[in-house]
Protein backbone atom coordinates (compact mmCIF):
# COMPACT_ATOMS: atom_id res chain seq x y z
CA UNK A 1 0.00 0.00 0.00
CA UNK A 2 1.17 3.58 -0.70
CA UNK A 3 0.41 6.68 1.39
CA UNK A 4 -0.02 9.90 -0.55
CA UNK A 5 0.81 12.98 1.51
CA UNK A 6 0.28 15.33 -1.44
CA UNK A 7 3.98 16.18 -1.34
CA UNK A 8 5.42 12.71 -1.74
CA UNK A 9 4.40 9.08 -1.69
CA UNK A 10 5.87 6.50 0.70
CA UNK A 11 5.17 2.80 1.11
CA UNK A 12 3.03 1.98 4.16
CA UNK A 13 5.70 -0.31 5.67
CA UNK A 14 8.22 2.53 5.56
CA UNK A 15 5.66 4.86 7.14
CA UNK A 16 5.21 2.51 10.13
CA UNK A 17 8.97 2.04 10.44
CA UNK A 18 9.54 5.80 10.46
CA UNK A 19 6.77 6.26 13.05
CA UNK A 20 8.34 3.60 15.29
CA UNK A 21 11.77 5.24 15.03
CA UNK A 22 10.32 8.67 15.80
CA UNK A 23 8.41 7.28 18.79
CA UNK A 24 11.62 5.78 20.21
CA UNK A 25 13.45 9.06 19.65
CA UNK A 26 10.61 10.96 21.32
CA UNK A 27 10.77 8.61 24.31
CA UNK A 28 14.53 9.14 24.60
CA UNK A 29 14.07 12.91 24.35
CA UNK A 30 11.39 12.82 27.04
CA UNK A 31 13.77 10.91 29.33
CA UNK A 32 16.55 13.41 28.64
CA UNK A 33 14.22 16.34 29.32
CA UNK A 34 12.99 14.76 32.56
CA UNK A 35 16.58 14.15 33.66
CA UNK A 36 17.52 17.77 32.89
CA UNK A 37 14.49 19.06 34.77
CA UNK A 38 15.34 16.90 37.76
CA UNK A 39 18.95 18.08 37.73
CA UNK A 40 17.73 21.66 37.57
CA UNK A 41 15.43 20.97 40.52
CA UNK A 42 18.30 19.55 42.54
CA UNK A 43 20.41 22.59 41.72
CA UNK A 44 17.58 24.85 42.85
CA UNK A 45 17.32 22.88 46.09
CA UNK A 46 21.03 23.25 46.74
CA UNK A 47 20.65 27.03 46.44
CA UNK A 48 18.02 26.93 49.21
CA UNK A 49 20.29 25.25 51.75
CA UNK A 50 22.01 28.42 52.96
CA UNK A 51 21.09 32.07 52.91
CA UNK A 52 22.74 35.17 54.29
CA UNK A 53 20.67 37.72 56.15
CA UNK A 54 21.32 41.48 55.95
CA UNK A 55 22.88 41.45 59.43
CA UNK A 56 25.48 38.88 58.32
CA UNK A 57 23.78 35.85 59.86
CA UNK A 58 23.99 32.69 57.78
CA UNK A 59 21.05 30.31 58.04
CA UNK A 60 21.68 26.72 56.99
CA UNK A 61 18.58 24.57 56.44
CA UNK A 62 19.20 20.81 56.59
CA UNK A 63 15.86 19.74 55.04
CA UNK A 64 17.56 18.68 51.79
CA UNK A 65 21.08 18.53 53.16
CA UNK A 66 20.41 15.70 55.62
CA UNK A 67 17.35 13.88 54.31
CA UNK A 68 18.88 10.56 55.34
CA UNK A 69 19.38 11.59 58.97
CA UNK A 70 16.50 10.23 60.99
CA UNK A 71 15.37 10.44 64.57
CA UNK A 72 12.98 7.95 66.09
CA UNK A 73 10.13 8.69 63.63
CA UNK A 74 11.91 10.04 60.54
CA UNK A 75 13.96 13.02 59.34
CA UNK A 76 14.65 15.79 61.86
CA UNK A 77 15.65 18.88 59.88
CA UNK A 78 16.93 22.01 61.57
CA UNK A 79 17.99 25.54 60.75
CA UNK A 80 21.36 26.55 62.16
CA UNK A 81 21.84 30.32 62.49
CA UNK A 82 25.52 31.35 62.43
CA UNK A 83 26.97 34.83 62.81
CA UNK A 84 30.67 35.65 63.01
CA UNK A 85 31.52 31.94 63.31
CA UNK A 86 29.28 31.55 66.33
CA UNK A 87 26.02 29.60 66.49
CA UNK A 88 23.26 32.06 67.31
CA UNK A 89 20.57 29.41 67.58
CA UNK A 90 19.34 26.09 66.23
CA UNK A 91 15.68 25.86 65.22
CA UNK A 92 13.90 22.53 64.97
CA UNK A 93 11.85 22.34 61.77
CA UNK A 94 8.76 20.25 61.10
CA UNK A 95 9.31 16.55 61.71
CA UNK A 96 7.40 13.40 62.59
CA UNK A 97 8.83 13.23 66.11
CA UNK A 98 6.27 13.29 68.89
CA UNK A 99 5.48 16.71 70.39
CA UNK A 100 6.68 15.47 73.78
CA UNK A 101 10.17 14.68 72.47
CA UNK A 102 10.30 17.81 70.33
CA UNK A 103 9.53 19.90 73.40
CA UNK A 104 12.34 18.22 75.34
CA UNK A 105 14.77 18.70 72.44
CA UNK A 106 13.85 22.39 72.18
CA UNK A 107 14.21 22.91 75.90
CA UNK A 108 17.20 20.70 76.75
CA UNK A 109 19.33 20.27 73.62
CA UNK A 110 19.01 23.22 71.27
CA UNK A 111 19.95 25.91 73.85
CA UNK A 112 23.29 24.12 74.38
CA UNK A 113 24.36 25.29 70.91
CA UNK A 114 23.65 28.98 71.51
CA UNK A 115 26.74 31.22 71.46
CA UNK A 116 29.05 28.29 70.73
CA UNK A 117 32.01 29.30 68.56
CA UNK A 118 32.52 27.08 65.57
CA UNK A 119 35.78 26.23 63.87
CA UNK A 120 36.40 24.63 60.51
CA UNK A 121 36.35 20.80 60.64
CA UNK A 122 35.17 20.80 64.26
CA UNK A 123 31.71 20.08 65.57
CA UNK A 124 30.73 21.29 69.04
CA UNK A 125 30.38 18.45 71.55
CA UNK A 126 26.93 18.64 73.07
CA UNK A 127 25.29 16.09 75.36
CA UNK A 128 22.03 14.61 74.08
CA UNK A 129 18.72 14.34 75.90
CA UNK A 130 18.24 11.22 78.03
CA UNK A 131 15.26 9.24 76.80
CA UNK A 132 15.38 10.88 73.37
CA UNK A 133 18.61 9.35 72.12
CA UNK A 134 17.61 8.76 68.48
CA UNK A 135 16.25 12.26 68.11
CA UNK A 136 19.21 13.83 69.92
CA UNK A 137 21.70 11.98 67.73
CA UNK A 138 19.82 13.03 64.60
CA UNK A 139 19.77 16.68 65.66
CA UNK A 140 23.50 16.59 66.41
CA UNK A 141 24.19 15.06 62.98
CA UNK A 142 22.02 17.73 61.32
CA UNK A 143 24.01 20.45 63.09
CA UNK A 144 27.29 18.78 62.07
CA UNK A 145 26.21 18.72 58.41
CA UNK A 146 24.98 22.30 58.56
CA UNK A 147 28.34 23.47 59.91
CA UNK A 148 30.20 21.45 57.29
CA UNK A 149 28.09 23.08 54.58
CA UNK A 150 28.62 26.51 56.11
CA UNK A 151 32.40 26.19 56.02
CA UNK A 152 32.44 24.91 52.45
CA UNK A 153 30.05 27.52 51.06
CA UNK A 154 30.18 30.75 53.04
* H/E stretch holding 82: strand 78-83
Asked if residue 150 lies in contact with residue 50, where contact means CB atoms within 8 angstroms, the answer is yes
Give me the mean pLDDT over the 25-48 stretch: 57
pLDDT at residue 45, as a whole number: 43
Determine the average pLDDT of the residues in 42-63. Answer: 82
SS3 of 66-80: the string is CCCCECCCCECCEEE
Task: List CB contacts of 28: < 8 A, sequence separation 6 or more.
Answer: none
Element (H, E) at 35: helix 12-47
Q: According to the model, what pLDDT value does residue 70 have?
A: 93
Reported as a pLDDT band with limits 50, 70 and 90, residue 121 is: confident
State the pLDDT confidence band at 6, using cuts at 50, 70 and 90: low
pTM above 0.75, yes or no: no
Amino acid sequence: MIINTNLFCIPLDLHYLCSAILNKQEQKMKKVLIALLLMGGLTAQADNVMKKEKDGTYIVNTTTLAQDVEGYNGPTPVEVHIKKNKIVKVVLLKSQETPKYNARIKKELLPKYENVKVAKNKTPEVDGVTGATFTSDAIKENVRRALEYYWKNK
